[in-house]
Chains A and B, each alone.
Chain A
Amino acid sequence: GLFVWHLRNTGIRQIPCRFVHLYHVANDRLITFQYFNFLKRMYVTQCNKDLSQQAKPKSESIVSPFRELQQLDQEKKIVHKISPVSPVHQPWSETSSRNELREMKSAAETEDSIIPVGAESKEDRQWKEMKLQLDDLPGILARLSKIKLTALVVSTASAGFAMAPVPFELTCFLLASLGTGLASCAANSINQFFEVPFDSNMNRTKNRPLVRGQISPLLAVCFAASCGIPGIALLTLGVNPLTGALGAFNIFLYTCCYTPLKRMSIANTWVGAVVGAIPPVMGWTAATGSLDAGALLLGGILYSWQFPHFNALSWGLREDYSRGGYCMMSVTHPGLCRRVALRHCLALIGLSAVAPALDITTWTFPVISLPINLYISYLGFRFYRDADRSSSRKLFFCSLWHLPMLLLVMFTCKKSVLEKEGKGDLPGGSCDRAVEIGLP
């Protein structure tokens, strides 16, 4: 741990302080998982070393579009699995986004009392010229499009693609992933475009490019259009129209339904769950060209997963939601919040059991996944009964590893395509048109 910390530290010494946030250092909460703790320690030492002048430690009370949080924390887990030792030099955007990750994680474990003074560095307090800096542009656009969240969305779409019962086609897979990624960038940019004053008032989101004036709203919209239109076109023409339609619909759902609805009614959570469920469906339709029951099941699993994840998280952010004017179940209907979380934990068990019936996986899947599904349901029940911070945090952290593990198990239990060869024509021709057109 120390060695890695040292590596990280040397890498970011030159990074301006504004990208490093302090958080509540005297945090003695029990961290359920070792690597979360490990990462957190790294950042504590990192932060302490880097910030020369700082206000009191900020206890982060952070509001997040739940999707973002879910995906980002997922990503941290995935990243951690892949590369346990971080590289020496990290681009600042990565570091700051990791800090955001950590922030968000600690958001779930902070006190409810807000210490209003953020740990702003001197640079943050200065007046800045509102001129577009071209060398900053890639970083700015990355943050505008929530690039890490996009990466996670693409990975859930890939999971959908991988689970489809057709022979794997690399071209199709890459086109679908790219198209989904572009669509997600567009949607996220528009979301930030809509939410500038609200983001300004929330600790986690107040350093977004539009809030800081690093980019003009016009540019944000142009960027969104230049990602969204090619992205959807790529999906429609290069993959198949169904995937394109789903992508366009998802963008619409996220930007025009979920984002405004967040401030109007608690129904936003359900809409948001659908938004999260569509990418794997898109992956599946990209592979097979049709909306089978399997696609819907995969979507259903992701849909159900959103609830324990988000409801548990939102439990600790009630103050920010209340002040920001966001209508969330945890504030307005706390009982419903917990009931729904529990209900959907149990639904996950049911959905996993349906998978073999639809020939997506072998019967081993519900058996192997039963322990983790039971565990999350147990935590869901504890959250339902106790309704306190510790149970909500436990449930939230569980959801972070639960989903990747479930998808992994699902993939390993996937019913082999060969087994089904005898069942007639496999619907693997969805990308044939693209291949014929001569795309690389």
Chain B
Amino acid sequence: PPAHSRSDWIGPPDRLSNLRPIIFYVPPEESALERRLREARQEAQASNQRFWARHNRAFRQEKEEFIYSRLKAKGLEIRDESGQKATLNAEEMADFYKDFLSKNFKKHLQYNRDWYKHNFRITFLMGQVALVRALRWLRRRKKNVEQ
């Protein structure tokens, strides 16, 4: 993002986590409340990134392993004659999907709780910041009108 910009910038989705990273703008006159908001957002972003990067990587890895083991069991090679990667059909993969989902169930429950907490906290702080800014603006206008 350009140096003179006064707003946050959001980027393309991360390769691993599919989440879009945000670069936060730190205004020179940032209030304590605004700092808390920014830090909350940064923390949430980091936590989300960690979770999804790890999760997606695990998914891909385990999927590969599953395909490999199944192909082995069937006596096939990973790559067939044309060099294409051999894949299993949907019904065979279904076992893997079911397995993966139940294995990660607890992890997801924990993540859900964390995510909802982050989300509410951030939105609440945003509301507070917006309110403070609005009051400040109103007060300034009143002062201008009085002058």
**Taking beta carbons and an 8 Å cutoff, which residues of A are in contact with B?**
112-113, 120, 124-131, 193-194, 196-197, 200-201, 206, 211-213, 216-218, 221, 260, 263-264, 316, 318-319, 321-323, 325, 327, 331-332, 334, 387-389
Contacts and interface: CB of A to CB of B under 8 A. Distances in A.
Nearest to A128: B10
Given A197-B115, A322-B101, A264 B109 contact: yes
Contacts of B97: 318-319, 321-322, 331
A130 B8 contact: yes
Contact of A218 (B1, B17, B23, B123): B123
Interface in B51-103: 52, 55-56, 59, 87, 89-91, 93-94, 96-98, 100-102
Given A217-B119, A221-B123, A129 B5 contact: yes
Interface string B109-143: 10110011001001100110010000000000000
Interface of B: 1, 5, 7-13, 17-20, 22-23, 48, 52, 55-56, 59, 87, 89-91, 93-94, 96-98, 100-102, 104-105, 107-109, 111-112, 115-116, 119, 122-123, 126-127, 130
A334 B100 CA distance: 15
18 contacts: A112-B89, A127-B9, A128-B9, A129-B1, A130-B7, A131-B7, A200-B20, A200-B52, A211-B20, A217-B122, A218-B126, A221-B123, A260-B116, A263-B109, A321-B101, A325-B111, A332-B98, A332-B102
A430 B100 CA distance: 52
Contacts of A218: 123, 126-127, 130
B12 A263 contact: no
A187 B105 CA distance: 26
A242 B129 CA distance: 38
Nearest to A387: B91
A127 B10 CA distance: 6
Given A218-B127, A263-B112, A389-B90, A212 B20 contact: yes
Contacts of A127: 1, 9-12, 23
A190 B121 CA distance: 15
B90 A213 contact: no
B48 A125 contact: no
Nearest to B124: A218
B119 A213 contact: no
A201 B101 contact: no
A124 B20 CA distance: 11
A221 B48 CA distance: 21
A201 B17 CA distance: 7
Contacts of A217: 119, 122-123, 126
B101 A200 contact: no
A323 B123 contact: no
A327 B48 CA distance: 20
A126 B12 contact: yes
Nearest to B25: A130
Given A130-B22, A196-B119, A325-B104, A112 B90 contact: yes
Nearest to B128: A218
A383 B135 CA distance: 61
A113 B89 CA distance: 9
Contact of A125 (B12, B59, B109, B112): B12
A130 B6 CA distance: 10
Nearest to B5: A129
A321 B100 CA distance: 10
